[in-house]
Amino acid sequence: MSSADSDHPSARAREAAEAAHPSAPAGDDPATRPTVRLRPKAGRRLSAGAPWAYADELVMDRRTRKLAPGSLVELQDAERAPLGLAAFNPDSVIAARLLDEDPAARVDADWFAARIARAQRLREALFDAPFHRLIHAEADGLPGVVIDRFGDAAAVQPNAAWADARIEALVDALVRVTGVRTVVLNGASRARRAEGLEDGVRVLRGGLDGPVPTPMNGAVYMADLTGGQKTGLFYDQRPNHAFVARLARGGRMLDVFSHVGGFALAALAAGATHALAVDGSARALELAEEGARRSGVADRFETRRADAFEALAALAEEGARFETVVCDPPAFAPSRQAREAGLRAYRRLARMAAPLVAEEGWLTLCSCSHAVDAEAFRAACAQGLRAAGRRARLIWSGRAGPDHPVHPALPETSYLKALVFALD
């Protein structure tokens, strides 16, 4: 800060407020809100509508770097014209996340409630029951925040420092708008670690007796909100589950990386004659088995705990064949640095899964890797199928369901790819 800047009354007020509350995020009082500026000729994506500014696009002087992670700031362009209210984290690659066009907006429970209510109206138009993703980060106006709804319970992932610092106001608004009685904070994610936040899971409101039965596509899934992966259940595959379930009717199916039942339970509910679910987690398979019992399909459901690639090799040696095979792995390429290794893994998966598909059967291959775009994923799958000697026709290209909206200026947030092939 220059000596001229430091003499300005508003600057002195900001310094006094920050000195009085050195451990609290700055900017909750609009009258003393700090400012952060873009560098000259920076912020092209921001000007095109993206709600992010990266650290190398901002003037990161000594004053700015001292701001606490999660501070609210007035974001300005290089000429000091206000662009809006942003959440700032000097320790994150995504240093500024635009929250509101009004730089003087007050982020309190009412502010959160307005955004949650808007998101809820969208989901009510899409679903008959409150089992869905309620908040999908930037696309729902809450950057870095994920909320999944499980009837009277909700799981919240505050994956950005600004939301983590204001979790009580967020939860108060969530309870007020939705009427949920139980709220679980799930603080175990790669995104939180990138923001410098601690891992941890805790119940913030109400209580749970165990996993929550969750109806979806005619089956019942068991969502473990306190001990499962992510928020306890993957809602994003819902439309792809439904499409594959229709194909699987009347035949045997293999669901690799099944988690708590994934594609398998939907297929059985639709009329598959048998499903084998493969996963490396014993707990996930226990939940899948409970889901099968509650869905009334336990007599046609089988599980196998194993490494996915080892299971594919073993099934090939056994001469097993299935009319429908699905492989829905975790992200093989969670970062740009892992992209090439991830593409090799996708090629290998396609090559090993294809021989298990019966003649004129169906193979579904999925990717949730942000770093692998749709065309690169399709090409990797095609190479694997060719290496396996199978002729294929691509009949379905799926993405996440409509409760996972995509911010139009952030195409990379359309992360899920599901390709369904008809194999000769």
Decide the pairing of beta strands 252-256 and 200-205: unpaired
Contact in structure between 393 and 422 (CB atoms under 8 Å): yes
* Tokens coding 336: 């740009």
Which residues are CB-contacts of 303 (< 8 A; sequence separation ≥ 6)? 258, 276, 277, 278, 279, 285, 288, 289
Q: Which of 309, 315, 385 is nearest to 356 (CA)?
A: 315
Is 368 one of the annotated active-site residues of the chain?
Answer: yes
Active-site residue, from 327, 366, 368, 381: 368
Q: What is the DSSP letter of 38?
A: B
How many residues belong to the chain?
Answer: 424
CA distance linking residue 8 with residue 11, whole number of Å: 5
Q: Which of 362, 365, 315 is nearest to 343 (CA)?
A: 365
Classified as helix, coil or strand, 228 is coil
* Tokens coding 237: 């595959």
Q: What's the Cα-to-Cα distance from 353 to each of 280, 346, 381, 389, rounded to whole Å? A: 17, 10, 11, 12
Q: Which helix (H) or strand (E) holds 202?
A: strand 200-205
Catalytic residue ranges: 368
